[in-house]
Structure 1
Amino acid sequence: MSTTGLVQIDGLTPIKKEDHKTSKVMLLFPPEWVPTAPYLALPCLTAILRGAGHTVVQRDINIEMYDHFFTTEFLIWVRARQAMHLKALQMKEKRGELTDHEAGQLSILEQVMTLDVFDLAARAEEAKNVVRGQQFYEADKLEAALNSFRETMQFISSAYYPASLVFYPMESNLGYRPGVSKELLACLDDEQVNVYRDICNQLVLPSVSKEKPQVVGISIGTQMQLIAGLTFCKMIKETFPNVHIVVGGNVITRLQEELPNHERFFGEVFDSAILYEGEHALLWLIEALNGQRDIASVPNLMYRTAAGVQQNKEVYTEKTTALPLPDFDGFPLDLYFVPERIIPYLATRGCYWGRCTFCDHGQGYFDQYRGMTAQLVVEQVKALRDKYQCRHFLFADESYPPALFKRVSQILVDQNVGIKWTTLIRFEETLQDQAVWDLAAKAGCCTLYYGMESANERVLNLMDKHAKKSVIQNNLHQAAKAGIWNHVMAFYGFPGETMDEALETRQFVIDNQPVIHSVELFYFVAYRHTPMVRNPEKFGITIHKQEEYDLPLDYYYTLNEPVGISCMDAMQLCEEFYKNDFQPWAVRVNAREHVFLYISKFGTNRLPQIYAQRQTVGASDSVSGLVTWPVSMGEGEDGKEGMSRVMSHGAGS
């Protein structure tokens, strides 16, 4: 507050102190996201709202859901749901009225009813103890715990047939396509498959009833969260019609062109939407709802009036150096499936490179890259370390700038900050000094995630990535020598890439396997907001838009000339890689944060215990262990697109 009697808000007319009103706001983060660390959006919003005097209740329903799934109470409830469905289907079978679909459901239920639900619940509860305690660092026990979670999710899925609910990587499928508005809206009311309706009834609505907020904000960062997030919106709106419901997050921003064409969302599901960054936009929306300013003046806002859906013209971008420290107070920091607290932190917004033609990360921000000074970064990290008793940090930047990487490392060492950290980074010529990597490791850098994309320089130039193969190799060798774990992401099928060039990428990761500790190799996806999709003729592709996909985040494409490999070729190459070549990277511990903690614990990137063990069986080899996966954050917004998108914990709404 200023000394002039005004509440100073940068960007809009200040409000007089005597006119200032406060509200109670509930912020929700919906499933599905990884259960290993908080997401940064809500704490960023909370810091601004609490700083302005508003009461904020922030809830990570994602981790609350996973914790709830693996309890005796919930699994007994699931068994009762299974029994109810089984009885109804058996009666229909006696009458000879079963459809093929129902026959499949009946078969699944008859199988699952033979399981001892109390034994399953005991193992699930014990698995939570393992991932949250020191047994986490015994790879055999951690693998068994993760497989107990997966088995439990299969058990839960049977009660929501034909939905498939999967524990990590996040591949749950309710049978509805979130890119098709008719199916998305239908799914919100489907009590058979939509497990998030029950999660809302059990975890969300009681909290809204107790807290009585005037505003509920729901952050939807990935397409995986769209069904759960909108389910929560609609059910809260039906139960508490006087509560204003606002949505935001990266996916909402990406769909801003389509939302006005679907007025049902406004009023029936939510009341307003915030685009781009949401910290101050949400604050100003609350002030507008309190009658303190005109709603038409609130930047980044979309809402419905009698004249239809309105989108305010002004766009506000946050000044990163002026933002308060993210506020995690109220988050269940000890509930995540890790034995050590891990906190995300964002020093930059946007990508300092920002040129890759296949990438649409920047769509979540209106303007260009912004960042903080290294000194401010370290000061804030120290403050978070001390406030939350946390020494593990997820630097969630789109790509950590080389100058900041070097300077932050130096200050962390000089001030003996004593943290461990991980981040995304580009291969850079300015990072070819071994001393840089040694310093980063000394500063606590444990794991790095690189978007290599291709090992062929011609293809990299087509992408406007402009990395040299020799630089990629040097960076990997130097980082590995320093003890840092290298995770490499690449994809097949960039338009114009030949078969030989694609195989060059395959051979590169195979040849450099000793310094590539984990790898993701997928296929090219034409995301709708990329330079390629905006100018398809420049890249020799044709974009095929399907009318029913009216909420698209990517498009099917074909090559204009038979030059290079097709989309189907790329998918086939990907399948062959995981079938024939992936064994050296098959791990039993697949979460990014899990690998991060193992390196922090054991102080080395040599972790043979977390890889699947090879066993000779006759004349052939097999991989032991129940399940092996690439080290990954799981699925991205539109399928298997690697770490480069889903790693971001973006701020805003």
Structure 2
Amino acid sequence: MDMDLLLISPPYWDFYSPFLALPSLSGFLRSKGFAVRQLDLNIVHFNRMIDKQGDAILKELQNDHVYDGLDTAYKNVFKANDAKEFTRKSAFIQPGQLSGQFLKKNFYQFTLDEINFLDGIFHYIYFNQLYKKNYWDKLAEFELDSIMEEVSSELLTDTLLGNECMTLIQQGLRLIGFSSTSFDQFIVSCIYARMIKRIHPEVKIIFGGSYIPVLVKTVRPDKQKKIFDLCDYIVNGEGETALELIIQYTSKGQGELADIPNLCFMDSSGQVVHNAAKFENFQQLPEPDFNDLDFELYLMPEIMLPYQSSRGCFWGHCTFCDHDANYRYNFRSKTAETVVENLAALKKKYNNQHIQFVDEAIKPEKLKEIVAEMEARELNSLDWMYYSRISGEYTDDLVQRARALGCRLVLFGVETFNLRLIKMIRKGISEKNISKNLSMFSKFGIKNIIWMICGFPSQREEEIWYDIDKLKENSPNLKGVFAGLYRLERNCDMYSAPGKFNIIDSDPDNPYIFKSHYNGELIDQNQIFSLYKQEYAPLVSELSRSHNRYIIYFRQEEQDEPLERGLSK
């Protein structure tokens, strides 16, 4: 067997576009001469789940009792108040048609409401059953075995057994890495690792991904030992160099575990060892390699590749952010020349029309450099979207030039318009610049999506009403508002120093539940939840063309009504 490593992206994650972690690692390791295979079991499982359960769940939702119990967010997406209206609106889906390909092939024929309806159905089928599992109250004590039993299902295990992973092991594969971006993915990684170890104990398992630093920080050391019943190594941080050295150690006996950066392992005495951290020279990393991925499986109507021009966050001060501190405070960026070289290479290799920059945020200054380099190289054959921060540095000239070079969509983290809260969460923006940026981008034909958070610690009802009014005021310049209730995550500054943020108490089993005050007056969380459900969330739904950034990106206003109804199956 010539393969050095199999990288797996497990369920449950985005099903519109590939996630960047595996292609980035594959690109690096292949540049070093290693034989690497990447396998996106997330998209495989999504398509299997829709194919096998879609029709039954769609019919189930047409039942009054089931539909009445739906979360309001789903009802807002379906634009149906009851099961009868839902049934009428689902009439365009014939029995046996419901599939990812049904949406993909008819993306420009469906009305916008039909696309959003299908998107809501897919999210409900794929994620809602997972979230109904009763494992959240087991997180505080990290009851891993119990949580795995809650999440496991025959369909989930069949996704692993029915794929090439087991065949590759039989052919001699001895090293597998799982990349997790969320707790859900981590649990599925544990389930899959346990299955593999029971059948093939000789296989070495690596756990990595952006969720791992959060896990290591928030789970007690004695509880962390449970993880090593399922895996051999944990990569706590960036994985390029760590995986290179793990391959050399396991396949060639070269080096020592203690010398592998970002590695966690259990030593001969049964103690968990955490090696020193290392941050990659990001400028020198090659472009991602998507060779193993079948773009047809994803729901995007045209090929859109994720790309990262920087790692970390150039701002890094937000008190609600739960990213690992090492990631937040070690910002590195590729030069504009390298970025454009990478984009051109990807375009030549994959013939993609679209790029999604997945940086935490791109500085206006860096955007200006990238735009200038694209102009110099006449790279005007790509359309793209990116994430940014509200800033007074944006100018009409820069935004207009970005649009001319293909920028279709920008996503801003606004969180709140209220100055007191902006200061408390250390966002570093102003209300004036929020409105200015939204107006500027909209003027030149770039769509705006903003993120908002409701229910911050100490946030009063009148401050929520202020945000509601400001959303209405800025609505002409918005295509989407992505909002949710505040979650007090264990890895954020607010959780680490609750007193500084007027937090009195919190529930370790539920990040939504905490007690806070404003000037000594206790905030009534039930009133906050009620205001969010009755006023805030419905407004957000009303202001948004879709709750999905890909739909907002790809659909133009003139496409809201289809030109023809010759739908593909």
TM-score, length-normalised on structure 2?
Answer: 0.84
Check if 1:60 corresponds to 2:60. no
Over 3 Å counting, the alpha-carbon distance change for 1:579 and 1:278 in structure 2 is: closer
Which residue does the alignment assign to 1:408?
A: 370
Over 3 Å counting, the alpha-carbon distance change for 1:455 and 1:442 in structure 2 is: same
Which residue does the alignment assign to 1:233?
A: 193
Secondary structure class of the residue paired with 1:512: helix
Following superposition, the deviation at residue 75 of structure 1 comes to: 5.8
CA distance in 1, matches of 2:459, 2:50: 46
Over 3 Å counting, the alpha-carbon distance change for 1:476 and 1:326 in structure 2 is: same
Q: Which amino acid aligns with 2:176?
A: V
Alignment of 1:420-435 (within 5 A): 420-431=383-394, 433-435=395-397
Check if 1:174 corresponds to 2:145. no
Q: Which amino acid aligns with 1:273?
A: I
Over 3 Å counting, the alpha-carbon distance change for 1:33 and 1:526 in structure 2 is: same
Over 3 Å counting, the alpha-carbon distance change for 1:404 and 1:308 in structure 2 is: same
Check if 1:212 corresponds to 2:172. yes
Following superposition, the deviation at residue 453 of structure 1 comes to: 0.9
Check if 1:598 corresponds to 2:555. yes
CA distance in 2, matches of 1:508, 1:444: 29
Alignment of 1:57-136 (within 5 A): 57-71=37-51, 74=52, 122-124=96-98, 127-133=99-105, 135-136=106-107
Contact 2:454 / 2:486 at 8 angstroms: preserved in 1? yes
CA distance in 1, matches of 2:122, 2:365: 46
Name which of 208, 220, 234 aligns with 1:273. 234
Name which of 291, 296, 301 aligns with 2:258. 296
CA distance in 1, matches of 2:128, 2:551: 13
Runs of 5+ consecutive residues of structure 2 not aligned to the other structure: 61-92, 563-569
Over 3 Å counting, the alpha-carbon distance change for 1:439 and 1:366 in structure 2 is: closer
Name which of 522, 529, 534 aligns with 1:571. 529
Q: Which amino acid aligns with 1:595?
A: I
Which residue does the alignment assign to 2:65?
A: none
Secondary structure class of the residue paired with 1:520: strand
Check if 1:49 corresponds to 2:29. yes
Contact 1:450 / 1:488 at 8 angstroms: preserved in 2? yes
Contact 1:300 / 1:312 at 8 angstroms: preserved in 2? yes
Contact 2:142 / 2:223 at 8 angstroms: preserved in 1? no
Over 3 Å counting, the alpha-carbon distance change for 1:65 and 1:434 in structure 2 is: same
Over 3 Å counting, the alpha-carbon distance change for 1:168 and 1:443 in structure 2 is: farther
Over 3 Å counting, the alpha-carbon distance change for 1:353 and 1:567 in structure 2 is: farther
Which residue does the alignment assign to 1:474?
A: 436
Contact 2:3 / 2:37 at 8 angstroms: preserved in 1? no
Which residue does the alignment assign to 2:15?
A: 35
Check if 1:503 corresponds to 2:460. no
Secondary structure class of the residue paired with 1:408: helix
Contact 1:217 / 1:245 at 8 angstroms: preserved in 2? yes
Following superposition, the deviation at residue 395 of structure 1 comes to: 0.2
Contact 2:454 / 2:483 at 8 angstroms: preserved in 1? yes
Contact 2:313 / 2:328 at 8 angstroms: preserved in 1? no
Secondary structure class of the residue paired with 1:237: helix
Following superposition, the deviation at residue 562 of structure 1 comes to: 3.8
Check if 1:284 corresponds to 2:245. yes
Secondary structure class of the residue paired with 1:387: helix
Which residue does the alignment assign to 2:69?
A: none
Following superposition, the deviation at residue 459 of structure 1 comes to: 1.8
CA distance in 1, matches of 2:413, 2:116: 27
Which residue does the alignment assign to 1:359?
A: 321
Following superposition, the deviation at residue 200 of structure 1 comes to: 2.3
CA distance in 1, matches of 2:119, 2:492: 37
Greater shift, 475-484 or 251-260, is seen at 251-260
Identity %: 25
CA distance in 2, matches of 1:288, 1:494: 47
Superposed CA deviations along residues 528-572 of structure 1, whole A, max 9, x for unmatched, are 2222222222222134364xx5xx9x5743225544744444322
Q: Which amino acid aligns with 1:242?
A: E
Contact 2:130 / 2:151 at 8 angstroms: preserved in 1? no
Which residue does the alignment assign to 1:394?
A: 356
Name which of 504, 507, 515 aligns with 1:542. 504
Greater shift, 280-289 or 386-395, is seen at 280-289
CA distance in 1, matches of 2:498, 2:118: 46
Q: Which amino acid aligns with 2:13?
A: W
Alignment of 1:326-365 (within 5 A): 326-363=288-325, 365=327
CA distance in 2, matches of 1:513, 1:77: 37
Contact 2:133 / 2:150 at 8 angstroms: preserved in 1? no
Secondary structure class of the residue paired with 2:314: coil
Contact 1:401 / 1:425 at 8 angstroms: preserved in 2? yes
Over 3 Å counting, the alpha-carbon distance change for 1:207 and 1:569 in structure 2 is: farther
Contact 1:70 / 1:121 at 8 angstroms: preserved in 2? no
Secondary structure class of the residue paired with 1:225: helix
CA distance in 2, matches of 1:170, 1:458: 39
CA distance in 1, matches of 2:339, 2:129: 31
CA distance in 2, matches of 1:303, 1:313: 9
Secondary structure class of the residue paired with 1:490: strand
Which residue does the alignment assign to 2:205?
A: 245
Q: Which amino acid aligns with 1:584?
A: E
Alignment of 1:298-313 (within 5 A): 298-313=260-275
CA distance in 1, matches of 2:427, 2:150: 44
Following superposition, the deviation at residue 232 of structure 1 comes to: 1.1
CA distance in 2, matches of 1:496, 1:70: 42
Check if 1:262 corresponds to 2:223. yes
Contact 2:481 / 2:547 at 8 angstroms: preserved in 1? no
Over 3 Å counting, the alpha-carbon distance change for 1:187 and 1:544 in structure 2 is: closer
CA distance in 1, matches of 2:192, 2:158: 10
Contact 1:75 / 1:121 at 8 angstroms: preserved in 2? no
Contact 2:385 / 2:409 at 8 angstroms: preserved in 1? yes
Contact 1:347 / 1:397 at 8 angstroms: preserved in 2? yes
CA distance in 2, matches of 1:48, 1:199: 27
CA distance in 2, matches of 1:425, 1:170: 33
Following superposition, the deviation at residue 458 of structure 1 comes to: 2.3
Which residue does the alignment assign to 1:616?
A: none
Over 3 Å counting, the alpha-carbon distance change for 1:500 and 1:149 in structure 2 is: closer
TM-score, length-normalised on structure 1?
Answer: 0.74
CA distance in 2, matches of 1:262, 1:208: 32
CA distance in 2, matches of 1:136, 1:76: 19
Contact 1:300 / 1:313 at 8 angstroms: preserved in 2? yes
Contact 2:461 / 2:528 at 8 angstroms: preserved in 1? no
Q: Which amino acid aligns with 1:66?
A: F
Following superposition, the deviation at residue 456 of structure 1 comes to: 1.5
Which residue does the alignment assign to 1:441?
A: 403
Q: Which amino acid aligns with 1:176?
A: Y
Following superposition, the deviation at residue 202 of structure 1 comes to: 2.4
Alignment of 1:138-157 (within 5 A): 138-140=109-111, 144=114, 147=117
The structure having more radius of gyration, on CA atoms, is 1
CA distance in 1, matches of 2:415, 2:54: 46
Secondary structure class of the residue paired with 2:296: coil
Superposed CA deviations along residues 447-504 of structure 1, whole A, max 9, x for unmatched, are 1111111111222122212312111111101100111111111112223333322211
- CA RMSD of the aligned region, Å? 3.1
CA distance in 2, matches of 1:539, 1:32: 33
Secondary structure class of the residue paired with 2:468: helix
Over 3 Å counting, the alpha-carbon distance change for 1:151 and 1:426 in structure 2 is: closer
Secondary structure class of the residue paired with 2:18: coil
CA distance in 2, matches of 1:174, 1:188: 10
Greater shift, 291-300 or 589-598, is seen at 589-598
